[in-house]
Amino acid sequence: MNPVILVTADVREVDQYTLHAAIDIYLKALAGVGATPLILPSLAGDIDLDSVLGRVDGVLTTGARSNVHPGHYGDEPTTGHEPYDHDRDATTLDLIRKTIKASVPLLAICRGFQELNVALGGTLDTEIHELEDRADHRPPVSDDHDVRFGLAHEVDLEPGSTLAAILKTERVAVNSLHRQAVRDLAPGLIVEALADDGTVEAVRVADAGAFALGVQWHPEYWAGSDPPSRAIFTAFRNAAAETMARRAGDSPLPAAAE
């Protein structure tokens, strides 16, 4: 049996219908390392998240075109904060807190990484390319996803960090597709990686009862061909498999191949 991973959903209007959807790149990355993705609709109070978390083995919070509404971290909204997805905010911020409390493995990517910081009390900067001494972390303008998601810069991994242990290196090349970034790090988060301009690129939850890692970049896009990207998903999948086995009272499932 494969571990079941809950995947967050964006809310979109298509052909006069409201869709709760996840980009298939995330789903394929999970399936590619031996996990079964399950999309959670962004229905906020209409879903018993505690009950759901008791039936899945991990949670993936995805990237998205939308940004966390600044009201969730005490800022006034501006055009620089847009676009928004209020239904996703209302669902995912609570989901993250409950996931950590329940000791369910968590992998947070891009918007999901920013959600993790906000959910635990941190803040975000917007349009960081306009800030002094900060690089432009936006993707190149292109209709070719291979170009947009191309490896753009390197990050330094903190010595002794969880991510350094997973990737077995101190510096790794990542892609970059974001306008916003961590401003004030949330209490309970520990920096795992920094870009050369000081942008926080990865964090872990301190004293978490399970794997709980967030990255600002998009390892899902290259999980099939880039060893560091695949290693992150493999480590997450293996943590979820351990959770499933522990709940079942069985011996741990075989680890996915790196």
List 69, 81, 178, 218, catalytic entry: 218
220 classed as catalytic: yes
Task: For residues 242 and 105, give the distance between their C-alpha atoms in angstroms, rounded to a whole number.
Answer: 10
Burial of 254 (0-12, 13-18, 19+ CB in 10 A): exposed
For 27, list phi and psi in degrees, rounded to 5.
-65, -40
CA proximity to 127, closest of 180, 177, 78: 180
Per the CB < 8 A criterion, the answer to whether 110 and 65 are in contact is: no
Burial of 147 (0-12, 13-18, 19+ CB in 10 A): exposed
List 81, 110, 178, 242, catalytic entry: 110
List 115, 192, 201, 220, catalytic entry: 220
Q: Which helix (H) or strand (E) holds 5?
A: strand 4-8
127 classed as catalytic: no
Task: For residues 152 and 154, give the distance between their C-alpha atoms in angstroms, rounded to a whole number.
Answer: 7
CA proximity to 10, closest of 47, 61, 45, 48: 61
Supply 248's token pair. 């079942």
Question: Would you name the residues annotated as active-site residues?
Answer: 110, 218, 220
